Structure 1
């Protein structure tokens, strides 16, 4: 699965996803860290990536759009990188399962 990690989340999450066998990059890897959300959205559509974000704007846009990238909306409280990666390690199989079933907006609480 291909993921694009948004700016509010650490680049370490993208690196970890690669270690887990996925195609992943952080917006900074693609020169997108300071661009409008619209450009991140378009990049995700073009590259076939699911956006992992803490930005509610992406979730709202996905809920209203007929097409576009899948969104994983992370609503966890701010945490240290290690805690975030531990959480993702436990949750990723369920997230992948939901995405493979065709869900386009996954809210992670």
Structure 2
């Protein structure tokens, strides 16, 4: 399992997650802190990484393109410190590893987690 943390998430969480055994990089560490969301998605796809973000645009881009990768985890909890974010992601990745490997979008909120498999298709 490999993660790519988006801008707005603590850079130090990448180090904590890597130390815990999950290969994690932050967009700032690879020169993508000002990149478009589409470029970040492509980098994640190329590197087989899961995007972790605060941004809802990633889900919309995947829906519009009917893409099957990469998986995206959207965090909807404000002001998470690095250690709390790392612990949260360790738990989420552990519990939903198979879904994330297959391609999914996930929204993590304080009281629930929503998961949908990719590609997203319109319900009729």
Structure 2: 5+ residue stretches without partners: 110-124
8 A Cα contact 1:52 1:73, kept in partner: yes
Q: Which residue is equivalent to 2:75?
A: 74
Query: How far apart are the structure 1 equivalents of 2:26 and 2:89?
Result: 19
Query: How far apart are the structure 2 equivalents of 1:46 and 1:73?
Result: 20
Per-residue CA shift, 1:48-86, capped at 9, x if unaligned? Answer: 00000001101222344232210010000223x2xx522
Q: Which residue is equivalent to 1:49?
A: 49
Report how far residue 98 of structure 1 moved: 1.3
Radius of gyration: which is bigger?
Answer: 2
- Between Structure 1 and Structure 2, the one with more helix by share is 1
**Out of 70, 94, 97, which is 1:96 matched to?**
94
Per-residue CA shift, 1:15-68, capped at 9, x if unaligned? Answer: 111011011100011100011111111100000000000011012223442322
Runs of 4+ in structure 1 deviating by more than 3 angstroms, as ranges, are: none
> Counterparts in 2 of 1:1-109, with a 5 A limit?
1-64=1-64, 65-79=66-80, 81=81, 84-90=82-88, 92-101=90-99, 102=102, 104-109=104-109
Give the root-mean-square deviation of aligned CA atoms.
1.8
8 A Cα contact 2:13 2:85, kept in partner: no
Q: TM-score, normalised by structure 1?
A: 0.85
